[in-house]
Structure 1
Amino acid sequence: MNKLAAYIEAKSEMENLKKRLEALESDESLKQTLKFQNELDKLMDKFGVSQDDVLKMWGKAKADAKGAADKRRGTRPLKTYKNPKTGETVKTRGGNHKTLNAWREEYGKDAVDSWLVK
């Protein structure tokens, strides 16, 4: 029975996808977009230019995964803390640094925050 139910469900999904595809194919804006894409591809082939080259020309080069994450969140500034009692220096971009947390436990958060150099 499970195979029969899976078959019926798959057939139903296929019919729904056919209906969606027919609706998309009749959409005029999609037709125009596909026409533009085809003509652009032909033009790029004619001049031997890749999609990346076109994007670079317009200053819209694709970012790698790391670059995309940086644009979304941005990088945190590098902070430098210097312990006046020991002279030890800690550089961190986040607040969850092992040495920094140890100092906070020993000297208190306000005291450690006052040691911020940069």
Structure 2
Amino acid sequence: MSKLAEFKALEAQLAAQLQQLDAMKNDSGLKQEIEFEQKLRALLEQYGMGLRQVISILDPAKALKVATVSASSTAQRKPREVKRYKNPHNGEVVETKGGNHKTLKQWKQEYGSDTVESWVK
């Protein structure tokens, strides 16, 4: 597509979006929602409250459910698998769930990380 055609297409899209914006600005329902939001935020600020606090006051069961869901989603994590590394140079075996093992760190420093990872059984 030529640059001129692309420019005209974008210009037409912009004009259509501007018409939609004007139509929304004149919508009484939108004006009511904006006014409600402004008054609600002012009221929350006046009393030093947050939305979560208001929800917990108005609907304690839902607030408890939301807190439980958010806590359980972060708390549940797949347990790490135990990895067994066998050093072919001396036959020593290290079992660990993570990479923060003293002997494993020494091996990685001495032989290189890629080499040590190839020793996993």
Place the TM-score, normalised by the shorter chain, in its bin. Answer: 0.3 to 0.5
Bigger relative CO (Cα 8 Å, ≥ 6 apart): 1
Rg larger for: 2
TM-score when normalising by structure 1: 0.47
